[in-house]
């Protein structure tokens, strides 16, 4: 925080400079003086002075021009004018241009001191507010979109491109891919960041409730409507409305939403007043809207209204490059939740995670890591901490696919024993996966004793 403020005084009358400087220095301000506007502008740089006190009528440049010059260099400095008695009108004009206050000459010392103190306070407030806003704009790591794969980079670029405009965005992706996260990021980076972000899950409510949620209702609109209620569109005024799972919206509701989007106006149920709203629309769905259109379940005109910009999030299995960074992120969150130090996952776990099919995408990955953290003994998550589903849920197409692979590994200098052991381990994993974890069945399939299978699974770190 500013303890001592830097003040610049500008006047062509030496005696004024002298006396003002004396008074303000006594008040613990750092004071500099300049005898005309040009000289003053030379002293200016952003942040150099918090308060500038200037005469209005100066020979080389008048007060208004000087004010504009100052604002172009340092828009945060607080500007105070001194005017000759009787010409206050000019000072008031200047206040419209961004000057903060004025006092007239000859000045009353107490009045002058008060004006300067108030100006400093104003500066502090603006400074605090700006700092708060900056802090607010820094993304908390919990909300950050993690991932280094080309497809995630593209999504992040898209967010940057669309955030600043009010353009309607449709986010598509399987369940758990991060659609809501993307919607929130767009809002946070938009000019509406300080406005409301209102979510509505269209899949979670029956048709009549969705409509009263979206548009609100008047008292008496239906049985139970005992008081007027504002709808989500109204509540989102000045901000963003997030229509989640829009593919699940009933056709009737779609027609009404289409109108609201086109006209940017709504009517409450049971009301006849039209209410203008200023909202940005972001919609999301895990469904294929084009096929819903061909089945007659989604309005084509609504599709074109919402699909102005499309952000498609790839399923996690198509971007395994994101997994290491996501794992690191979720391990840190999980460690916080279980209250223990966990620094990462073993290489085997990483391989298992990279090869899993992830039907539940990123959300499932987060859940798996948090589950494993509960069972972890050391500070590294091991294979045995993972559920069987993941441990044995390998994609069948691993590297080990041919004799050429074996030859290649031998060529690289690995021993035959090592390579054979890797093949054995892989075959055991595949068989266990194929028998859904049934060890007797797996042993029979492999033509070995159950005891032998168990011994080998231990040896290969599969239990
Ligand atoms: N790229 C990512 N970086 C960090 N966290 C992510 C990422 N993608 C998803 N998540 C996290 O995964 C979880 C699921 O994300 P989100 O709810 O946004 O998905 P969704 O697509 O809306 O899912 P659903 O269709 O099930 O509603 C959240 O906890 C979210 O923070
Ligand atoms: Mg969602």
Q: Which atom of ligand 1 is nearest to the CA of 171?
A: 21
Residue 384 in any domain: the answer is yes
Whether residues 98 and 172 share a domain: the answer is no
- Most confident region among 94-108, 114-128, 363-377 by mean pLDDT: 363-377
Q: Which of 147, 180, 199 to mutate to test the pocket of ligand 1 (most atoms within 8 A of CB)?
A: 180
pLDDT, tens digit (0-9, with 9 covering 90-100), for 243-262 = 999 999 999 999 999 999 99
Residues with CB under 6 A from ligand 1: 145-147, 173, 175-181, 286, 329, 362-363, 366
Could you count the other beta carbons within 10 Å of the beta carbon of residue 15? 8
Specify the CATH number for the domain of residue 333.
Answer: 1.10.8.60
What pLDDT was estimated at residue 2? 53
Could you count the other beta carbons within 10 Å of the beta carbon of residue 5? 22
What pLDDT was estimated at residue 175? 95
Whether residues 303 and 365 share a domain: the answer is no
Residue 204 in any domain: the answer is yes
Specify the CATH number for the domain of residue 439.
Answer: 1.10.10
Nearest CA to ligand 1 atom 31: 181
Ligand whose nearest atom lies closest to the CA of 325: 1
Kindly give, in sequence order, each residue whose CB lies less than 8 Å from that of residue 322, ignoring residues fewer than 6 positions away: 146, 147, 148, 149, 152, 316
Specify the CATH number for the domain of residue 298.
Answer: 3.40.50.300
Residue 142 in any domain: the answer is no
- Which pairs count as long-range contacts for 65-69, CB under 8 Å and 24+ apart, including other chains? 65/37, 66/10, 66/37, 66/40, 66/41, 67/94, 67/97, 67/98, 67/99, 68/97, 69/37, 69/41
Ligand whose nearest atom lies closest to the CA of 287: 1
Whether residues 197 and 279 share a domain: the answer is yes
Residue 397 in any domain: the answer is no
- For 242, the enclosing helix (H) or strand (E) is strand 240-244
Ligand 1 centroid–CA 360 distance in Å is: 10
For the chain, state the CA radius of gyration.
34
- Residue 294 CA to chain centroid, in angstroms? 35
Using DSSP, state whether 358 is helix, strand or coil: coil
Ligand 1 centroid–CA 248 distance in Å is: 19
pLDDT, tens digit (0-9, with 9 covering 90-100), for 12-71 = 999 999 999 999 999 888 899 999 999 999 888 878 899 999 998 888 788 889 999 998
pLDDT, tens digit (0-9, with 9 covering 90-100), for 308-344 = 999 999 999 999 999 999 999 999 999 988 888 899 9
Nearest CA to ligand 1 atom 30: 178
- Domain with 453, as residue range(s), is 403-459
Whether residues 217 and 276 share a domain: the answer is yes
- Most confident region among 2-11, 277-286, 390-399 by mean pLDDT: 277-286
Closest of 166, 202, 162, 167 to residue 185, by C-alpha: 162
Ligand 2 centroid–CA 425 distance in Å is: 38
What pLDDT was estimated at residue 395? 45
Nearest CA to ligand 1 atom 10: 178
Whether residues 360 and 416 share a domain: the answer is no
Whether residues 116 and 259 share a domain: the answer is no
Ligand whose nearest atom lies closest to the CA of 361: 1
Say how far apart CA 230 and CA 361 lie, in whole Å. Answer: 36
Whether residues 164 and 308 share a domain: the answer is yes
Decide which of 136, 170, 195 is a domain's last residue: 136
Whether residues 259 and 228 share a domain: the answer is yes
Kindly give, in sequence order, each residue whose CB lies less than 8 Å from that of residue 362, ignoring residues fewer than 6 positions away: 176, 177, 178, 316, 326
Burial class from Cβ neighbours inside 10 Å (0-12, 13-18, 19+) for residue 12 reads: middle
Q: How many independent structural domains does the chain possess?
A: 4
Decide which of 314, 333, 350 is a domain's last residue: 314
Decide which of 336, 364, 391 is a domain's last residue: 391
Whether residues 123 and 25 share a domain: the answer is yes
- Whats the size of the chain, residue-wise? 463
Ligand 2 centroid–CA 176 distance in Å is: 7
Say how far apart CA 320 and CA 375 lie, in whole Å. Answer: 25
pLDDT, tens digit (0-9, with 9 covering 90-100), for 110-127 = 989 999 999 988 888 887
Ligand 2 centroid–CA 180 distance in Å is: 5
Residue 225 in any domain: the answer is yes
Nearest CA to ligand 1 atom 8: 178
Residue 61 in any domain: the answer is yes
Residue 322 in any domain: the answer is yes
Query: What is the average pLDDT value for the chain, to the nearest integer?
Result: 88
Ligand 1 centroid–CA 181 distance in Å is: 6
Whether residues 178 and 250 share a domain: the answer is yes
Angle at 59 between CA 58 and CA 60, to 5 degrees: 105
Q: DSSP letter string over 284-323? A: EESS-HHHHHHTTSS-HHHHHHHTTEEEEPPPGGG-GGGH
Low-confidence winner among 92-101, 140-149, 174-183 (lowest mean pLDDT): 140-149
Closest of 417, 455, 416, 447 to residue 431, by C-alpha: 447
Question: Region 352-358: what's the mean pLDDT?
Answer: 86
Whether residues 384 and 411 share a domain: the answer is no
Ligand 1 centroid–CA 176 distance in Å is: 5
Nearest CA to ligand 1 atom 9: 178
What pLDDT was estimated at residue 457? 87
Specify the CATH number for the domain of residue 63.
Answer: 3.40.50.2300
Using DSSP, state whether 198 is helix, strand or coil: strand
Checking if the pLDDT of 139 tops 70, the result is no
Checking if the pLDDT of 400 tops 80, the result is no
Say how far apart CA 104 and CA 67 lie, in whole Å. Answer: 17
Question: Region 263-279: what's the mean pLDDT?
Answer: 91
Checking if the pLDDT of 306 tops 70, the result is yes
Whether residues 444 and 356 share a domain: the answer is no
Low-confidence winner among 139-153, 188-202, 241-255, 264-278 (lowest mean pLDDT): 139-153
Contact 70, 91 (CB under 8 A): no
Residue 352 in any domain: the answer is yes
What pLDDT was estimated at residue 397? 41
Nearest CA to ligand 1 atom 28: 363
């Amino acid at each position: 925080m500013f303890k001592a403020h830097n003040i610049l005084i500008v006047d062509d009358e030496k005696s004024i400079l002298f006396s003002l400087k004396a008074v303000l220095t006594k008040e613990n301000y750092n004071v500099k003086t300049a005898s005309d506007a040009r000289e003053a502008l030379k002293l200016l740089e952003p942040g150099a002075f918090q308060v500038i006190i200037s005469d209005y009528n100066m020979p080389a440049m008048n007060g208004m021009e000087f004010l504009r010059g100052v604002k172009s260099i340092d828009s945060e400095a607080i500007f105070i004018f001194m005017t000759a008695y009787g010409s206050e009108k000019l000072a008031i004009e200047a206040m419209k241009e961004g000057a903060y206050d004025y006092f007239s000459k000859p000045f009353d010392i107490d009045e002058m001191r008060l004006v300067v103190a108030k100006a400093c306070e104003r500066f502090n407030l603006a400074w605090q507010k700006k700092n708060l806003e900056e802090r607010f704009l820094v993304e908390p790591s919990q909300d950050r979109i993690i991932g280094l794969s080309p497809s995630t980079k593209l999504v992040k670029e898209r967010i940057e491109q669309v955030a600043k405009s009010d353009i309607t965005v449709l986010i598509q992706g399987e369940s758990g891919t991060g659609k809501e996260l993307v919607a929130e990021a767009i809002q946070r980076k938009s000019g509406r960041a300080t406005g409301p972000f209102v979510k509505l899950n269209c899949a979670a409510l029956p048709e009549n409730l969705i409509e009263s949620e979206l548009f609100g209702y008047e008292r008496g609109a239906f049985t139970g409507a005992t008081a007027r209620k504002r709808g989500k569109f109204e509540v989102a005024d000045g901000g963003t409305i997030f229509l989640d799972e829009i593919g699940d919206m009933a056709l009737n509701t779609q027609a009404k939403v289409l109108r609201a989007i086109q006209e940017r106006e709504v009517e409450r149920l049971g009301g006849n007043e039209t209410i203008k709203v200023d909202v940005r629309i972001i919609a999301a769905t895990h469904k294929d809207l084009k096929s819903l259109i061909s089945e007659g379940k989604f309005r084509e005109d609504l599709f074109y209204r919402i699909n102005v910009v499309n952000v498609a999030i790839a399923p996690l299995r198509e971007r395994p490059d994101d997994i290491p960074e996501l794992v690191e992120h979720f391990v840190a969150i999980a460690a916080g939740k279980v209250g223990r130090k966990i620094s990462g996952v073993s290489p085997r776990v990483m391989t298992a995670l990279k090869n899993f099919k992830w039907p539940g995408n990123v959300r499932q990955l987060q859940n798996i890591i948090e589950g494993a953290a509960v069972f972890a003994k050391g500070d590294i998550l091991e294979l045995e901490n993972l559920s069987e589903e993941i441990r044995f849920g390998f994609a069948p197409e691993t590297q080990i696919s041919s004799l050429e692979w074996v030859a290649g590994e031998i060529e690289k200098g690995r021993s035959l024993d090592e390579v054979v052991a890797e093949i054995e381990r892989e075959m055991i994993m595949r068989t266990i996966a194929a028998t859904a974890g049934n060890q007797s069945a797996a042993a029979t399939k492999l033509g070995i004793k159950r005891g032998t299978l168990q011994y080998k699974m231990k040896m290969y770190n599969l239990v």
